[in-house]
Chain A
Amino acid sequence: MKKILIALSCALAVLTSAVHAKDWKTVRIAYDVPYKPFEWKDPNGQFTGFEPDLARAVCKEIHAKCEFIVQSWDGIIPGLLARKYDAIMSSMSITPERAKKVLFSKPYYNTPSAWFTRDGVNINPADKAEMKGKIVGVQRGTTQDTYVTQNLADVVQIKRYTTADDLVLDLQGQRTDIVLLDYPVGQQTLLKKGGFHVVGKPVKLGEGVGVAFRKHDKDLAEKFNKALDKLKNDGTYDKIMKKYFDYSIKM
């Protein structure tokens, strides 16, 4: 009897929490800032950029209040699983390893990755003989990291950085020869700074970028998918995109 009671109360607890979870009045979304032009904080501390703008449009669509939270990239998935926030909208590419831990929405953009190096250096990254012995910088745990590790680990030395700032500093300081970066990020940090240029052809990596949720928050993911579809069709998405990019990243 006692066992049944305990089982019943447990079931009830699960049910009520499930009911509670479906009621998405506020959605807390995590960003790793700054990652221009996707997300950064303006001088007033306001979240600005393509993804916060898109998130605001989505939240309006699903009648929820958006709360933005800053979280560094290294701990961004553990933080989601620990319920510090409900979604990640911080340019997270969809990968099989990540999909084991989180639930992805449909992709909402995809950007090419490109090779950057200092002016005066010219390397063809497609030529393995030319890449031999070179030091390649990537951000740890990114799709670029996976790509370089899988394709070039036997000829180059890979240096993995926690932040893009450190990566830029070491390319400038000649500790690395070439870096593989998300093109928009490289454009904002390296090309704008001057003294760097793109070499080789850009590579399209991965399945695009999606919003990440906890595995059991299927209802929230569904809401986001529907809202994103609508924004992509009614022109809102294009309007936000044109504000930040002079090329298309839509998918």
Chain B
Amino acid sequence: MFDQIYTLLSHNDIFTPETLIHYWHGFVTTVQLVFLCLALGLAFSIPLALMRASRNMWISGPIWVYTYVFRGTPLLVQLYIIYYGSAQIPGIQHTFLWDFLRSPFYPALIAFTLNTVAYQTEIIRGAIVATPHGEIEAARAYGMSWAKYTWRIVLPSALRRGLQAYSNEVIFMLHASAIASAVTIIDLTGAAYDIYAKFYAPFDAFLFVAAIYLIVSFSIIYGFKRLERRLLAHLRPVGS
């Protein structure tokens, strides 16, 4: 089996072991980038969603402006502003910030995180607002404080309600990460670009990378289906 694969590879012009290693490095970069920005995104978006759901204009207003701006502009434009724009600020090369901004990875991570936080905030906020009023009234009747009923009642049910929309956002983020290659990151798409430019074989290079994205997407979808079965078990018909 292994020998067969090896002979197949050694007879192939494009998919040589070196090329596959290049793809592998790209895959690792993509997974790192997407995972980190989603983890950071979740951490920031829950408190922001609570603020966004507040009835106080001074609390929800600024968050609304932020989500409006970042959902209303293309991610590529945000990435260009943060990557190429940051290098144009006079004197930034001599500050500690430059340690992060010099490599393309952190500017991309910042842009992706800011973008995904905006979307995730709106998803979670929607789920929070949809909490049945009776549940909150009942919680209040038991004498729970805002913090207590938010933690015990609102968030657990809101996060469950937001799960399906959230899984879409994860898939979108994976696909959006392809634009990281525009700022010289060698992610999966960047690796495909390199191989395309080296062999002038657009079909081979991009079809292969499309297949990898497809596999990753389906793995994520499968994972969320399992999670939904567990977390939304109370919504399933009895006996299924």
Contact = CB atoms under 8 A, between A and B. Distances in A.
Interface of A: 74-75, 77-78, 97-98, 100-101, 140-141, 145, 159-162, 166, 169-170, 172-175
Contacts of B199: 97
Given A140-B193, A161-B184, A175 B198 contact: no
Contacts of B88: 173
Interface in B66-97: 84, 87-88, 93
Contact of A174 (B93, B184, B193): B93
User: Which of A101, A145, A170 has the largest number of chain B CB atoms within 10 A?
Assistant: A170
The main secondary structure of chain A at its interface with chain B is: helix
Interface residues of B, number: 18
B200 interface: yes
Contacts of B20: none
Contacts of A170: 84, 87, 184
Main secondary structure of the interface of B (DSSP, over half): helix
A101 B193 CA distance: 17
Contact of A173 (B84, B182, B193, B202): B84
Contact of B184 (A75, A77, A145, A159): A159
Contact of B200 (A78, A140, A159): A78
18 contacts: A77-B200, A78-B202, A97-B198, A97-B199, A98-B200, A140-B193, A140-B194, A141-B197, A141-B198, A160-B194, A161-B184, A162-B182, A166-B184, A169-B87, A170-B184, A173-B87, A175-B87, A175-B104
Contacts of A141: 197-198
Nearest to A102: B200
Given A78-B200, A162-B193, 19 more contacts: A74-B193, A74-B196, A75-B202, A77-B200, A78-B202, A97-B198, A140-B194, A141-B197, A160-B184, A160-B194, A162-B182, A166-B184, A170-B184, A173-B84, A173-B88, A174-B93, A174-B98, A174-B102, A175-B102
